[in-house]
Structure 1
């Protein structure tokens, strides 16, 4: 059974093992419909003229921005390519997953991806186990990268408006990040995949997160080279931490609010952070529109290769 009448439903891969359960079909439709509504509401918050006027003259920001945007779905595709022999066309559903997580609500995209996976893949283990393990490892990798960055960029934390609580804030943040690794004590009960697969996935996440932090800092440094690059790394680390907060929509906007609080309302830095959040949201809407157009264009054509074959 395939999904119908949803924004991304017709980006289908052939079903090797279908599970025609009505509840999962309707849940997918509800998630897609909710995502469409959220995108329309977010679209109303974008001032196209203001966004155009605020874009920097240095065009090097554009490839860096695109690399930053696609780093997560590319890493996800690499992971699930190895786990499920996911073809290149499966990249579309991973884009939809990211948009669902960031525009609608955290883990909404994961639910959508899980429903897609159980309808279209024949796996040696339940897709829930693989998706769960990938997300847990992503969280652990994010905390490790953030902890290392916190230690590396400590001299620049003083540039934020934390007042006399700078040292206490750093210590508390480091302690909270460290406690997340207690889950490893129960790894045999928590994880489903084999140990070698888990380490490989963790390595991919580390590379992806490190690249994301550097790309984000580089993006801001290109647009506004005044502050030291280490200062941008601090803000990029905070953006990484905000991105891990569960069950929150539009985390880029939330990060912009936090950044304005930390650097000051009248700072050029706060304007740049707000511009970045708006640009990422505009990319979400543009990518969603392209996915929707592809879904309508190919809804009655079998253009995707079979699972396990090269594409």
Structure 2
């Protein structure tokens, strides 16, 4: 099959980047994919609203403008890094692209992992003038996101290894070794087989990997700044250490009760006198509330102004 080249605003691709038959343009299922996922996001928003306790959280929220700037940066980091990537790959329009990528982020967070990629794929696939076969690029970006997350996690583990006995993670050494082997093995397999698995050219892959590495580092460190701004009596160095532990626990497989383990480490390092539990509950609720507000607004805008959302 010969190589095909789209217009100047699209990408060059070969047979590896063609969409799977189920996802080809004109497929009846594809036409309903985006709206169905959008309705799923809206349904998840309504469901999550039942247990949201806004009053208690509002009383704990910091009043510092710096906190809210840091929170906005943390929340928008993933969509903005994705926008940076897809503007290079597809010359993605800024406003419409940011809206679609934010829907992707919210879908992953409040529905299930990678459902956002499916929604974003559906959005891009319906815009053939922008890119002819988006499946390969969406797939490659998702794979490199996972690989870079694993790389940073392993780097954090290597740096923290001498101190693991002090942290009392509650994890058996055998379980930790198995988790590391699985994490390292999956990333190595993907990198070694990149010629068969990945679609983009080497330069684009290097750019995507660098952007995903930046995203992982930024989203790992910004929570430490948020925690410090909320509880300034605790030195930010402790929060950075806890952010590294949080990243480590969140990425490694085979580790049960990750949130409990993280809370236990936080109390162990900083002490029970500090309102760590209240802080973590406040941050979790704030993030969920933001997901609900942003998700509902984007889905309603998508249905109310379909033409504007498509441009």
Pair 1:79-2:85 in alignment: yes
- Higher mean alpha-carbon deviation, 138-147 vs 282-291, is at 282-291
Contact 1:64 1:215 in 2 (8 A): yes
Going from structure 1 to structure 2, the CA distance change for 1:237 and 1:120 (only over 3 Å counts) comes to: farther
- Higher mean alpha-carbon deviation, 193-202 vs 147-156, is at 147-156
TM-score calculated relative to the size of structure 1: 0.78
Shift of residue 240 of structure 1? 3.8
Q: How does 1:55-94 map to 2 (within 5 A)?
A: 55-88=61-94, 89-94=96-101
Shift of residue 111 of structure 1? 0.8
Aligned to 2:29: 23
C-alpha separation between the residues in 1 aligned to 2:125 and 2:146? Answer: 23
Shift of residue 67 of structure 1? 0.4
Pair 1:148-2:155 in alignment: yes
Aligned to 1:289: 296
Aligned to 2:103: 96
Pair 1:41-2:47 in alignment: yes
Shift of residue 188 of structure 1? 0.8
C-alpha separation between the residues in 2 aligned to 1:224 and 1:181? Answer: 37
C-alpha separation between the residues in 2 aligned to 1:217 and 1:50? Answer: 22
Contact 1:98 1:109 in 2 (8 A): yes
Going from structure 1 to structure 2, the CA distance change for 1:213 and 1:37 (only over 3 Å counts) comes to: same
Shift of residue 177 of structure 1? 3.1
Contact 2:90 2:131 in 1 (8 A): no
Contact 2:83 2:92 in 1 (8 A): yes
C-alpha separation between the residues in 1 aligned to 2:61 and 2:164? Answer: 27
The answer for unaligned runs of 5 or more in structure 2 is 1-23
Aligned positions, number = 279
Pair 1:180-2:186 in alignment: yes
Shift of residue 132 of structure 1? 0.7
Contact 1:150 1:234 in 2 (8 A): no
Q: 1:73-111, CA deviations, whole angstroms, 9 ceiling, x for partnerless residues?
A: 001011111111101121101010111111011111111
Aligned to 2:18: none
TM-score calculated relative to the size of structure 2: 0.78
Q: How does 1:123-162 map to 2 (within 5 A)?
A: 126-154=133-161, 157-158=164-165, 160-162=167-169
Contact 1:35 1:104 in 2 (8 A): yes
Contact 2:227 2:279 in 1 (8 A): yes
C-alpha separation between the residues in 1 aligned to 2:165 and 2:236? Answer: 14
- Higher mean alpha-carbon deviation, 43-52 vs 265-274, is at 265-274
- Higher mean alpha-carbon deviation, 149-158 vs 213-222, is at 149-158
Shift of residue 33 of structure 1? 1.5
Q: CA RMSD in A?
A: 3.0
Q: 1:22-59, CA deviations, whole angstroms, 9 ceiling, x for partnerless residues?
A: 21122322212211111111111111111101212444
Aligned to 1:12: none
Contact 2:180 2:252 in 1 (8 A): no
